[in-house]
Structure 1
Amino acid sequence: MLPPNTYSLVADIGGTNTRVALAEGTALKPGSIRRYRNTDFPGLESVIRRYIEEEEGVDCAGACVAAAGPVRDGVAHMTNLDWTIEPAMLARAAGAEKVAILNDLQAQGHALGALAPESLRPVVEGPQAAAHAAKLVIGVGTGFNAAPVHEAPGGRIVAASECGHVNMPVRTEADLRLAHFVETAHGFPGVEDVLSGRGLERLYAWVASEAGSPAEKKAAEIMAALEDGSDPLAATAARAFVRLFGSEAGNLALTHLPFGGIFLVGGVARAFTAHLGPMGFTEAFRDKGRFAGFMQNFPVWIIEDDYAALTGCAAYLAALP
């Protein structure tokens, strides 16, 4: 039996899986991370109750969850999952006195500075910045989103957004054809419709259509074909993905001016790590006309720690009074 009120419960709720762990301060308890498939549960409360049961009924002092969806007035509505997460439910399920609900990218922002240095891989070089400089987290996985990170006198502020649902970047005639292609899904060509797991699938369908041989593949199949060189369409779709990714990251850099760096997170972003350089991410990122030189102010890293959102939840709870 674990001692009562020693640990906090932290959870990262994605569109497909929920990961839960215990934390002491900002550190995750070794061996405590468990993964649950969302379709096996009616809601988060049943996930947390299962976890606590598997952890011998641990009594948690606090609980913080990161949800892949908008959080308004402390309530999260999952974007790609029919779950609503409320503070009262979280407190009841975890038996915790102190609870918090964050957007998943907010949690990633709170993790910055608490991650092991070896979990950061450079993608785009840039100048050394002051510790208090603004930063930006961009997540690409089941969906797409970003969150600016600011150090303020009262503590760190990580602003939420739903920027994956703004218009996708259009730079060329081909991009315009792509926008018309993807908007048939639900009437609007959003960033997430081309920069996410299912976005990669739409890009593949589009390049196949452009080539006159309509075809579809799952994201995992596209990445596997890219790695083994078995499908030229997969390589074409991947190059389109990387170019659009760089372009949109550049747009967000000019919006938020993250001189402290941009941090890429999420399973899809990590899957593309080895391809970002060869396929032109940096060139697309800096392709901003007369501001191309200015774009050299923004370094970009990949966060390779798959549990960074859990660390961010722990850090957020530890900073609460």
Structure 2
Amino acid sequence: MGHPKDTYSLVADIGGTNTRVALADGRRIVDGTIRRYRNAEFPGLESVLTRYIADEGGVDPIAACVAVAGPVRDGRATLTNLDWTIDKDTLARATKARTVAILNDLQAQGHALGYIEVSKIRSILPGPADNANAAKLVVGVGTGFNAAPVYDLEHGRIVTPSESGHANLPIRTEMELRLCQFVSTAHGFPAVEDVLSGRGLERVYAFLGQEAGDPRECAAQDIMTACASSADPRAVQAAELFSRILGTVCGNLSLIQLPFGGVYLVGGVARAFAPHLTRFGFGDAFRDKGRFAGFMSNFAVYVIEDDYAALTGSAAHLVALGQ
């Protein structure tokens, strides 16, 4: 297959498990160019991008932007849940692109807002209509956890990075305290990501088994499958506890960032939970803020059901850079 030279941008979304790569024409992902690679099969991102370029017939992109599940500083990214690092020089060498950019994956999700099909946005909690330029918040729940505010200013969009998943996990009940003690590691008191992630859901399930005197393990995907069918009461209980803690954390972040333009949950775990969040108490926990409970109704909550939103966001960022 052949692609025109110096025409398309290369965009990639690097998660803890998989890397998705595609070509973009402006903000539009080019049909048929999305490919997924398992990270465990490659020594680093440069090898993934080299494979992709070969798979796409030696495509020569004009620009490249990658979204990384980890902190980015001074043009260098380190993945939180994978032993990979990448910098702009490496990205330029791998893609031979004239312009390169590296974003945190939640930054890319933030840049995608406004460019996602309405049919792929599920409403969880309603909120009042607001100015399109109001602050928004993206919250990622997948292999890890993170959040990033989105600001549409006169001179353009700003999506500030954070590492919210590594803040201490909040506790409100005796059971949640015991859960924190159960998941504590050598790193000390557990972080938000230690519970609100795919692996975290597995820990919640294991914790409930210990509480019941019947310990056993279950994979996150199997928990969600059993939860949907109600085949395993413990899976339902784990999903309920997970949903309530997620509601508490998202409510806390909303009070910090004041996203009157909406809270957008993204990531594989968020999408899996989307049909169940309302019945499992997410909304009650989200709004349980004492005298500010009424104020919390200012924040609508949605789930982005587009698995490739970070690719669109990376493309949109390159357009904002003039590429």
TM over 0.5: yes
Q: Quickly name the TM-score band, shorter chain normalised.
A: over 0.9
Amino acid at match of 1:32: T
Q: CA deviation at 1:186?
A: 3.6
Supply the distance in 1 between the matched residues of 2:185 and 2:77 (Cα, whole angstroms): 28
Moved more, 170-179 or 219-228: 219-228
**Residue aligned with 1:274, SS:** coil
**Residue aligned with 2:162, SS:** coil
Amino acid at match of 1:209: Q
- Superposition TM-score, scaled by structure 2 size: 0.98
Q: Give the corresponding residue for 2:10.
A: 9
Q: Give the corresponding residue for 2:241.
A: 240
Supply the distance in 2 between the matched residues of 1:281 and 1:100 (Cα, whole angstroms): 36
Deviations 1:193-235 (A, max 9, x none): 1100000000001111111111111111211221222211111
**Residue aligned with 2:81, SS:** coil
Confirm whether residue 159 of structure 1 aligns to residue 160 of structure 2: yes
Q: Give the corresponding residue for 1:205.
A: 206
For residues 38-57 of structure 1, the aligned pairs below 5 Å read 38-57=39-58
Q: Give the corresponding residue for 1:86.
A: 87
For residues 168-247 of structure 1, the aligned pairs below 5 Å read 168-184=169-185, 186-247=187-248
Q: CA deviation at 1:185?
A: 5.9
Q: CA deviation at 1:61?
A: 0.3
Deviations 1:22-75 (A, max 9, x none): 000000000000000001000111111110111111110000000000001111
Q: Give the corresponding residue for 2:64.
A: 63
Q: Give the corresponding residue for 2:108.
A: 107
Q: Give the corresponding residue for 2:28.
A: 27
Q: Give the corresponding residue for 2:315.
A: 314
**Residue aligned with 1:233, SS:** helix
Q: CA deviation at 1:188?
A: 2.4
**Residue aligned with 2:270, SS:** helix
Q: Give the corresponding residue for 1:136.
A: 137
Supply the distance in 1 between the matched residues of 2:18 and 2:193 (Cα, whole angstroms): 19
Amino acid at match of 2:114: G
**Residue aligned with 1:146, SS:** strand
Consecutive unaligned residues of structure 2, counting only runs of 5 or more, are none
Moved more, 307-316 or 228-237: 228-237
Q: CA deviation at 1:159?
A: 0.5
Q: CA deviation at 1:173?
A: 1.1
Supply the distance in 1 between the matched residues of 2:111 and 2:30 (Cα, whole angstroms): 18
Amino acid at match of 2:295: F
Consecutive unaligned residues of structure 1, counting only runs of 5 or more, are none
Moved more, 177-186 or 257-266: 177-186
Q: Kindly, what percent of the aligned residue pairs are identical? A: 64
Confirm whether residue 149 of structure 1 aligns to residue 168 of structure 2: no
Moved more, 149-158 or 106-115: 149-158
Supply the distance in 1 between the matched residues of 2:219 and 2:194 (Cα, whole angstroms): 14
Q: Give the corresponding residue for 1:120.
A: 121
Amino acid at match of 1:217: C
**Residue aligned with 2:275, SS:** helix
Moved more, 145-154 or 64-73: 145-154
Q: CA deviation at 1:111?
A: 0.2
Supply the distance in 1 between the matched residues of 2:59 and 2:23 (Cα, whole angstroms): 9
- Superposition TM-score, scaled by structure 1 size: 0.99
**Residue aligned with 1:276, SS:** coil
Q: CA deviation at 1:153?
A: 2.1
Supply the distance in 2 between the matched residues of 1:317 and 1:185 (Cα, whole angstroms): 40
